[in-house]
Structure 1
């Protein structure tokens, strides 16, 4: 039966050009599409193939290409987001986003969606959308705890007229729900120092913090990829701070993959008993230093467990990823672990690997989407946050946070030094010491959250509620 597009809810998706941002927008698109919502997904040519691979085929979805403006030195028309660029050049994509405004106006004028969901960088979108009679919703890909700590309006209270320092950022913003975590400060000194860039001007323009503030001020509602069950205190705090309508998508549990794991991985993993392999990976855009790689490798070796270690390196690394890996690994390491260790550079099918029966532990960077994938696949969590929102996710998930479903690798406060003994201790807690505390409680909590995430009725309710809220907004009820 043909769909009546005149009554069908139509949403345009416009994420920032980084896969860690594009992926949650794809996940939400798939969920909304399955509930009858028409999706127009805006992305650059370099991302189209990946979006096509991950969008569930449906007559409700289409991909709309956006052209990279030719006037930005160092950006090719087919750049595939931040992963194609050295970290120092990634900010050029924010400039590119700003220069797409004429294209976006034309595209939205033609599409006429009811809503456009936009990311942190597009602070100008609410005004543009309003001119066209379209409601703009800012969709944050970060956890509520990260947003509540870093981007609320009172975050910079008392630091006007001077650079933001680590001393400023180790203190929570006024009213932050500190009772929701234990163990002193929420973040360490080196962590505060590492995300101070959020408050610095980008390419001579607004800071990311200012962009977010303008985007939130102008939008019709905020959309968060979370739920009250997992982050209630932080969501409530944000509601007080921003005084905006909030829509919660839930944690966007991915659908089980339809394809099978490539024999390259499946045959190696099949060599080991169920739930014994440590899968260690940090996503496509989280990079470790040589010293961190060395200590990580030695720590995995000390566990005595089989492991799959996946590393990535910046686009401009001298000699390429494999050459840098050889410079980083301890002498003789590959030979010593050849019967139980697999080391790989580059992309891997993460969801399929996590689902393999031999994987028992996931040692990772604590990206929020990866947390959800690991929990639904019954993996124990060893948390090693490296940058920005990962620190907050780790506090949420770890033994001092709300979820208490994983153990964090201990890093030194001042400089974040990572030692092999700390790797061993974290993995041992969730893989060996499972009958004593805190290992026992962590495993029980991991199972509790897994059950929650696998409850399809509960997860579908988040999306049906979102659709209901958007219909009310479309009809002027909210």
Structure 2
């Protein structure tokens, strides 16, 4: 790439995977860059997804959304735009559709003028275009560095269809304590990386994307995952630029619904259980019902935000028999179940909320660490399982709900885990509470996020000057 004269204002393009859990952190980083005066061109599927996420754009004079028409792929439902719009077995078709957007990307890139850098996470063809057109390409990983280290580096052989005995071996040179023998449910979940997502496996897609880019960025910080970051850097032979957690501010204008705020305020400080598994986790009806029975068994007030279970149009259709009468309508209405989007940051910030039962998606993991809540984890997918290992084995800031060999979570085990952290006399509760407090004092530094983004911008300038 020819040496260029850098302008004070960077021109950045964002092209995340067509998944809400990926698009959202890219928007948060875009807001941080725009707050520093940089121009961002953001490519995302439209029109539905664009309309849904447009309110997150806090700097519309500097951040321009460019809608991408999702190409037709045999088997992909009409109108589907993101992975959240399709059942689990059709998600590979979303990757295939995104692979067919190269011409649209080229057209938008030509229209907006010369770009400095494009951040992406799964489009393997972007480095080639970058070399042809003359912009830098940078993968931006929104999963934890621990997931990258254990599953998504060139030597992570767990992903390549090996036997269970071979998969039970610790990856060579892997240093953190989390590198323990995989559990049966983890081995089963690891198979996802060998599945085809578009034309290649998910493992090969990510490793190829990172290997081919000019630089890689990770949504984490040294204070949390330094040992993992160093291992990823060694594996790929390139430096990782860290952005920090890049969480949105609480003043997004997305206030807590008055009904929920009034309901939460009925209860003492730190007494309410809050449960959410992200925008894409879809539970079987029997597991959904068992979780609700577990919250009922605890005897504590709870707010549950889960998608309607498989086969149900609403959460109410999935309620256990008599549940609404006993817990929502009866007992003073100590239970509240919501099947749609909720302002999670605002809920976690409410003084009445004392425990977060989470799937340990990376965004939720950060939000739990920066909250005052006790942390109980029920991982659903591979990256969440690895994140849970980080939280429970390395950081020791939460507890995981024990599952049987088939991955089933019983109401008794859920209730036990919650009581383990909520009971003031519990030794485990004391340990995780103290560890969480120490880490939150570091991560909760009001200037930490700003320092990381400032450093990230400086690194971009340095990288561009060398090209």
Is the TM-score greater than 0.5?
yes
| CA distance, structure 2, for counterparts of residue 168 and residue 312 of structure 1 | 36
User: 2: distance between equivalents of 1:35 and 1:430?
Assistant: 41
2:363 and 2:165 map into 1 onto residues whose CA distance is 30
Q: Does 1:298 align with 2:257?
A: no
How big is the shift at 1:390?
0.4
User: Partner of 1:207 in structure 2?
Assistant: 201
CA distance in 2, matches of 1:256, 1:346: 20
- For 1:82-161, what aligned pairs fall within 5 Å after superposition? 82-111=83-112, 112-120=114-122, 122-156=123-157
Partner of 1:20: 21
- The answer for the alignment partner of 1:404 in structure 2 is 396
Alignment-derived partner of residue 354 in structure 2? 360
Secondary structure in 1 matching 2:336? strand
Report the Cα distance in structure 2 between the residues aligned to 1:292 and 1:165, rounded to whole angstroms.
29
- Describe how 1:146-185 pairs up with structure 2 within 5 A: 146-156=147-157, 163-178=161-176, 180-181=177-178, 184-185=180-181
Deviations 1:142-166 (A, max 9, x none): 1011111111111228x97xx3454
**8 Å Cα contact 1:72/1:96 also seen in 2:** no
Rounded Cα–Cα distance in structure 2 between residues aligned with 1:380 and 1:447: 10
Q: Which residue of 2 aligns with 1:67?
A: 69
Q: Which TM-score applies when normalising by structure 1? A: 0.90
Aligned to 1:336: 326
CA contact (8 A) 1:254 1:373 kept: no
| Shift, 1:56, TM fit | 1.5
Q: Do the aligned residues in 1 keep the contact of 2:25 with 2:247 (CA within 8 Å)?
A: no
Asked if the contact 2:154–2:235 (Cα under 8 Å) also holds between the matched residues in 1, the reply is: yes
- Deviation per residue, 1:423-456 (Å, 9 max, x gap): 1121112211x34422112111211222222212
Structure 1 runs of 4+ aligned residues shifted over 6 Å read: none
Q: Distance in 1 between matches of 2:225 and 2:258?
A: 39
For the residues of structure 2 that align with 1:292 and 1:170, how far apart are their CA atoms? 28
**Which consecutive residues of structure 1, in runs of 5 or more, have no partner in the other structure?**
none
Is 1:463 the counterpart of 2:453? The answer is yes
Does 2:412 match 1:421? yes
What is the deviation of 1:318?
3.4
Alignment match, 1:276: 271
| Alignment of structure 1 residues 439-454 onto 2, 5 Å | 439-454=429-444
**Whole-angstrom CA distance in 2 between matches of 1:269 and 1:225:** 32
Gap regions ≥5 residues in structure 2: 1-5
Native 8 Å contact 1:270 1:358 kept in 2: yes
Aligned partners of 1:275 and 1:318: how far apart in 2?
A: 34
Asked whether the 8 Å contact 2:285–2:311 carries over to 1, the reply is no
Three-state SS of the structure 1 residue aligned to 2:226 is helix
Q: 1:116 to 1:365 in 2, by over 3 A?
A: same
Q: For the residues of structure 2 that align with 1:381 and 1:277, how far apart are their CA atoms?
A: 13
Distance (whole Å) between structure 1 residues aligned to residue 295 and residue 465 of structure 2? 56
What SS is found at the alignment partner of 1:360?
strand
Partner SS, residue 156 of structure 2:
helix
Structure 1 range deviating more: 146-155 or 347-356 = 347-356
Over the residues paired in the alignment, what is the CA RMSD in angstroms?
Answer: 2.2
Q: Is the 8 A contact 1:129 1:135 kept in 2?
A: yes
Q: TM-score, normalised by structure 2?
A: 0.92
Aligned match for 1:262, one of 257, 264, 278 = 257
Aligned to 1:375: 369
Map Cα deviations across residues 31-59 of structure 1 (whole Å, 9 max, x no partner).
22222222111111122123311121252
CA contact (8 A) 1:278 1:361 kept: yes
2:221 matches 1:227 = yes
Cα 1:71–1:84 change in 2 (3 A) is closer
Q: Which of the numbers 430, 437, 442 marks the counterpart of 2:427? A: 437
The equivalent residue for 2:3 is: none
- Between stretches 30-39 and 219-228, larger displacement belongs to 30-39
CA distance in 2 between counterparts of 1:323 and 1:305 reads 20
Residues 6 and 85 (structure 1 numbering): CA distance in 2 closer, same or farther, change over 3 Å? same
Question: Using the alignment, how far apart are the partners of 2:164 and 2:14 within structure 1?
Answer: 35
Shift in alpha-carbon separation, 1:44–1:143, aligned structure 2, 3 A: same
Q: d(CA) in 2 for partners of 1:225 and 1:43?
A: 19
Residues 313, 25 of structure 1: CA spacing in aligned structure 2 closer, same or farther, 3 A cutoff?
Answer: same
Q: Is the 8 A contact 2:218 2:242 kept in 1?
A: yes
Is the CA contact (8 Å cut-off) linking 2:76 and 2:94 kept in structure 1?
A: no
